[in-house]
A = this chain, B = another copy of it.
Amino acid sequence: MNHPIAEIFSQGEEVITGQVADTNAAWLSQKLVQMGFVISRHTAVGDKLQDLSDLLTEISNRADFCICTGGLGPTVDDLTAEAVSQAFACPLQLDSVALAQIERYFIARNREMADTNRKQACFPRGAIRIDNAWGTAPGFAIQHKRCWFVFVPGVPTEMRHMFIEQIQVELERRFVLQVDKLVTIKSIGIGESDLQQKLNEFSLPERVQLSFRAAPDDVQTKLLFSADTADSEINSCVNQLVKKIGDEVFAVEESNKPSIDLVSVIAQLMAEKQYSLSVLETVTQGLISAKCIGQEWLQDSSYKQSIEPYIAQLGITRQDDLAQVAIAIAKQLKLTLTADLILVQLYLGDKEQLQAKEKSIVLYNVLQTPHGIYQNTIAVVGPIKRKQNQAAIRALDLLRRYLQKHAFNPIK
């Protein structure tokens, strides 16, 4: 059975002039793909009535479903309802329930409704209203030719609520949807091309689509299984790939379950073991700690621009093995800090190499634990903010590996 075809269309100057990237289209696409639609096109236009009208006519001939964001506000630039009216030859009509809702919205905020807000209660004849509990403008839906159109505000929170609370269930009613199952294997410490290389030798069944994505905080292997694949087959396939990739895998995420990131994996393990953590940062300059926002197991952290005081205190000269310097610092901190785990992120190079985006820098991460000392040595490259982010993620990943008992053998 074929998947129904969907298009997404955004109206508004801030998208067309590039002030904001079209995050509404990305969010809606993910939702619709997960539900079983095939997305054929995204389009964004500005405030020109004829452009809007022409586009609606085009879409009505080639898609089964179209969701349009933006253009429902009270100003002269908001033209969506008028464009629909023109394209589908159905006059605008005042919806008294919508008008009452808009009036109530303003009364509740001790504000007066302006005359311009009235137009937000006018919909094309034949449309059904979609209530908006999160803002002024209701949305509406209408069928034209082959396509069921839904029109919602461009404000992301309003749009997402209306989609999840009302539109999604209506789509499930109107369309026969086969839900493909998406599984995302998340890994850290392996590049996208090495990952592809490792998995090249796997011959996956035809019903499985494999793709890769390098995100800022992890590298993802995505497996899309067609709707009729048995869970046992999915699990078997995923497990084989996880085993093949190895310790770099920190999570396996299913599309119909909550998203998982590195900090959430660490948080669950820290809670199970009831451990607390202290952090000393250098090049990450507070980012390791910031990424753990709201996590109560992070007791304290500090950033030092110069670690000379520590080195002097320990009688070490910089010519020594720098990984050993990091270990000596961690042991010293153990004497004064009370947390169960101490993470030290250390950079001992010069500032010029840190700032130069084409130069890579070497970092030392050391984790002092009840089971001994764990460490890793990594290189990061790129603009300073990228170096900072990579450094923070790789330091946290050392903690993850220890907690998942995949860490290197402890050294004394």
Contact = CB atoms under 8 A, between A and B. Distances in A.
Given A25-B18, A41-B43, A286 B303 contact: yes
A258 interface: no
B17 A290 contact: no
Interface string A10-45: 000111111111110111111111000001111111
B290 A287 contact: yes
A345 to B, nearest CB: 12
Contacts of A29: 16-18
A297 to B, nearest CB: 9
B299 A305 contact: yes
Given A17-B29, A302-B300, A44 B46 contact: no
Contact of A305 (B42, B284, B296): B296
Contact of A21 (B22, B298, B302): B22
Interface string A324-344: 000000000000000000000
Interface residues on A, range: 35 or more
A385 interface: yes
A317 interface: no
A315 interface: no
A125 interface: no
A293 B302 contact: no
A334 B289 CA distance: 24
B305 A303 contact: no
A118 interface: no
A41 B43 CA distance: 7
Nearest to A24: B21
A199 to B, nearest CB: 15
A294 interface: yes
A384 interface: yes
A41 B33 contact: no
Contacts of A44: 25, 41-43
Q: How many copies does the complex hold?
A: 2
Interface in A183-228: 211, 213, 222
Interface in A301-319: 301-305
Contact of A286 (B17, B30, B42, B301): B301
Interface in A238-286: 281, 284-286
B30 A26 contact: no
A213 B302 contact: no
A355 B294 CA distance: 7
B16 A41 contact: yes
A22 B42 contact: yes
A296 B355 CA distance: 12
Contact of A290 (B31, B290, B302, B305): B290
Interface in A139-172: none
A192 to B, nearest CB: 12
B42 A51 contact: no
A305 B294 contact: no
Contacts of A293: 285, 287, 384-385, 388
Most B Cβ at <10 Å: residue of A17, A286, A293, A300: A286
Given A294-B351, A296-B351, 4 more contacts: A18-B29, A19-B30, A20-B26, A21-B26
6 shortest interchain CB distances as A-B pairs: A18-B29, A286-B289, A286-B286, A18-B30, A286-B290, A42-B44
21 contacts: A15-B26, A15-B42, A16-B40, A17-B30, A18-B26, A18-B32, A18-B39, A42-B45, A285-B289, A286-B287, A286-B289, A287-B287, A289-B290, A290-B290, A293-B384, A294-B351, A300-B303, A300-B304, A301-B303, A302-B302, A302-B303
